[in-house]
Structures are given as C-alpha cells and as structure tokens.
C-alpha cells in the first residue's frame, strides 16, 4: 500500500503544477515560504508521513474548482465521491454515477444557497456542512475561535486515521502567504515529526497541494469570513 502511495505522488505532482503570473505575484503582501508537494522537500514529507489513509481516495476524485468561487462545491464533490455513499447519475455522464460540482446543487441545497449565489460569493462554513448533510453524509462544523491548535491537531489526526471520515478546512490564504482570500479544501495527510498537514488545494491551476503546520492552518482558520463576519473553521464529514 505504501509503495503504491509513493508511486502515485509523482503522477499527482505533475497534475498539480502551479503557475502564478507576474501580475498576481505583485499582489502578494507576504512571502510564500510554504512547502508544496511538488518540491523535493514536499515529496520527502509525503514519504515520511505517518497518516496517509485519505490521500489516495481524495486524490483520485479531486478536481479543480470550475470557477474562482467554487472551492466549496469542488471540495464537496471530491469528498463525497471518496466516501462509500450512493452517487447521483448526472444526465451528461449517464449511466455512470458521480457527484459533480453541478449535481451537488440538489433542490435541498438550492434552498441553503442557490447556484447563482455560490457563484457570486462562495459557501460559508455552516452552509458547507449542510450541503454535505443534504447529500447523504454526516457533517459537523466548528468555527476556529471555538477551538485551539491542540483540538485541531487531535481532530485532524483522528479523522485522517478513520477511512470513513474526511476533514475539510475553511481558511484564508493571506496568513499563509498565498494569493487570494477565503478558501476551502480537504486535508489528506499528516506528518507527526514536522506537525504538518497536507491540504489538497482544489484551485489546482493556482497552487499544488501544500504542507502546512498545524499552527499555520489554525491561524488561517481564525481569519474572519467577510460574508458572515465569523471565524472560518473545519467540517468533519463521515458516511
């Protein structure tokens, strides 16, 4: 199993190639010193990581957000496809079942937030959790100002060790030196020696998967969502 994981990382690294244009680079207010999976150091962290249970399933189904505000739908579709939950059959893919960034907008989820509104402003943390629930999963959310870094570490490691659970992070790019604001992506691995988690960025055209320390991720989660004026946080999803 571990040998398969190590072989897979090379293929995923190629797909996750990132390019930031000079115009975007000029807008960065902090220096990006992050460790990306596509770097030699990032690959070594992957080889050394103690918890990789979720990586293959998530990496197999994760795709880039269709538009800039669809980090939530992209994360939802990828996570749902990685779990043993009955999938819908979109007309465009018939007869093959799959959760897509469009098919997750069921009637129930349209009542939570319409496609047009998500297209305009994305999903807030409680809405993200409710989308999962309406699609047949179990989901609990928690704002970052209601927990500390210790809770985050314990919850991530427990969640990643359970093949029937997934951890989805709602965080801000700014505290970690990336271009952009609020973002949503699943976490797929943990390295205890460096206390780092692997965030599978769904804006794959922008950044490869990134290794963040627990403290970095926690600080990024504490940033307030301007839409709700509440701290960002986490959603724990299970089947």
Neighbours of 230 (CB within 10 A): 16
Is pLDDT at 1 greater than 70 in this prediction? no
Q: What angle do CA 221, 222, 223 make, to 5 degrees?
A: 90
pLDDT at position 31: 78
Tell me which architecture the domain covering 2-238 has in CATH. Answer: Alpha-Beta Complex (3.90)
pLDDT at position 17: 38
Average pLDDT over residues 21-40: 70
Per-residue model confidence as pLDDT tens digits over 103-153: 999 999 999 999 999 999 999 999 999 999 999 999 999 999 999 999 999
Grade residue 3 by pLDDT with cuts at 50, 70 and 90.
very low
Average pLDDT over residues 54-64: 94
pLDDT at position 10: 41
pLDDT at position 30: 59
Is pLDDT at 18 greater than 50 in this prediction? no
Can you tell me which residue has the tokens 């930031």?
Answer: 20
Helix ranges, the chain (H)? 2-15, 22-25, 40-48, 55-61, 71-82, 107-112, 115-121, 125-134, 149-161, 214-222
Mapped onto helix, strand or coil, the DSSP state of residue 131 is helix
Mapped onto helix, strand or coil, the DSSP state of residue 183 is strand
Please say whether the beta carbons of 201 and 190 come within 8 A.
no
Average pLDDT over residues 66-77: 97
Grade residue 186 by pLDDT with cuts at 50, 70 and 90.
very high
Residues 6+ away with beta carbon under 8 Å from 144: 152, 218, 221, 222, 231, 232, 233, 234
Is pLDDT at 5 greater than 90 in this prediction? no
Neighbours of 22 (CB within 10 A): 6
pLDDT at position 152: 98
Residue 224, φ and ψ in degrees, nearest 5:
-80, 140
């Amino acid at each position: 199993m571990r040998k398969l994981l190590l072989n897979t990382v090379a293929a995923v690294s190629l797909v996750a190639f990132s390019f930031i244009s000079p115009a975007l680079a000029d807008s960065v207010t902090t220096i990006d010193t992050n460790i990306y999976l596509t770097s030699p150091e990032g690959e070594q962290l992957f080889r050394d990581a103690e918890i990789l249970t979720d990586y293959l399933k998530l990496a197999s189904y994760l795709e880039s957000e269709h538009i800039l505000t669809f980090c939530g739908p992209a994360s939802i579709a990828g996570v749902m496809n990685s779990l043993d939950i009955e999938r819908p059959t979109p007309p465009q893919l018939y007869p093959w079942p799959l959760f897509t960034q469009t098919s997750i907008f069921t009637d129930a989820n349209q009542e939570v937030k319409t496609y047009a509104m998500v297209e305009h402003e994305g999903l807030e943390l409680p809405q993200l959790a409710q989308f999962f629930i309406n699609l047949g999963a179990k989901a609990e959310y928690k704002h970052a100002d209601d927990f500390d870094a210790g809770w985050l570490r314990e919850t991530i490691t427990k969640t990643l060790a359970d093949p029937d659970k997934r951890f989805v992070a709602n965080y801000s790019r700014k505290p970690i030196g990336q271009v952009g604001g609020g973002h949503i992506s699943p976490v797929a691995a943990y390295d205890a020696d460096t206390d780092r988690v692997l965030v599978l960025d769904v804006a794959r055209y922008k950044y490869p998967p990134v290794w963040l320390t627990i403290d970095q991720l926690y600080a990024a989660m504490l940033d307030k969502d301007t839409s709700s004026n509440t701290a960002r946080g986490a959603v724990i999803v299970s089947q």
